[in-house]
Amino acid sequence: MVYQKKEQADKNHKSRLREAAESKRSTSSRKIPGLEGKSIDEIIHELEVHQIELEIDGSVSIYDVIKRSDERMYASKRLMKSKKNK
């Protein structure tokens, strides 16, 4: 039961993350300087390297922020439910 709730929370998190990314993408320009003419593999490589740079630099990805937020919300709900049952 707990596993199913966690799995559903992960799906909700991924859905919200995707919606946020789609929204941000729709408002940004389509041309990215330095990536014109590059293959999909080259672009993916650039993105992976950039993510690693952010991790090394100590920056946190939006995925991590949303995931932690979801985990706190889930824990808070469990705490409220346990207090209510007492």
- Per-residue pLDDT tens for 16-61? 888 888 887 776 556 667 777 888 888 888 888 887 887 777 766 6
Name the residue ranges covered by the structural domains of the chain.
Answer: 41-86
What are the distances in angstroms from CA 62 to CA 18, 23, 57, 66?
11, 14, 15, 6
Residue 7 has pLDDT above 70, yes or no: yes
Q: Give the number of other Cβ atoms within 10 Å of residue 13's Cβ.
A: 19
Q: What is the pLDDT of residue 85?
A: 73
Confidence bin at 81 (pLDDT 50/70/90): confident
Q: Which residue has the higher pLDDT, 12 or 63?
A: 12
83 token code pair: 């207090």
Residues 6 or more apart whose Cβ sits within 8 Å of residue 64: none
Residues 5, 74 contacting (CB under 8 angstroms): yes
